Structure 1
């Protein structure tokens, strides 16, 4: 599973989703879907813009959490 930490990062900076929209130019619906972890995939250009706006690394934004029940053969 991949956890998206956008809500935490915005909270730490006391930014709203609207602030991030203004800084990045990404559509509000897209920011909301990422913020609420409703996405199956994220556009790399969007990741770049978000990391640049928040002055963070991708590792600050995304975290891989192994699924103990899933076994890949």
Structure 2
């Protein structure tokens, strides 16, 4: 299973979802669904926007594969 690590990254940086929405310009619902992992597909443009907003260069920093 593939998971996004957005929640971990925000926590490590002392940020919350609202901060990410303000930085990225994405809708709160979009950010919330990505953080909670309830989306079954990820819009690559949204992922790129979040990575740019959090100054992340490597996909390995934001995506992880979890054994189920």
State the TM-score, normalized to the length of structure 2: 0.89
| Structure 2 residue ranges without an equivalent (≥5) | none
Aligned counterparts of 2:67 and 2:14: Cα–Cα separation in 1: 30
Aligned counterparts of 1:51 and 1:29: Cα–Cα separation in 2: 17
Query: How many equivalent residue pairs?
Result: 67
Aligned counterparts of 1:50 and 1:58: Cα–Cα separation in 2: 11
How large is the RMSD of aligned CA atoms in angstroms? 1.1
Q: Which has the larger radius of gyration?
A: 1
State the TM-score, normalized to the length of structure 1: 0.84
| Structure 1 residue ranges without an equivalent (≥5) | 68-73
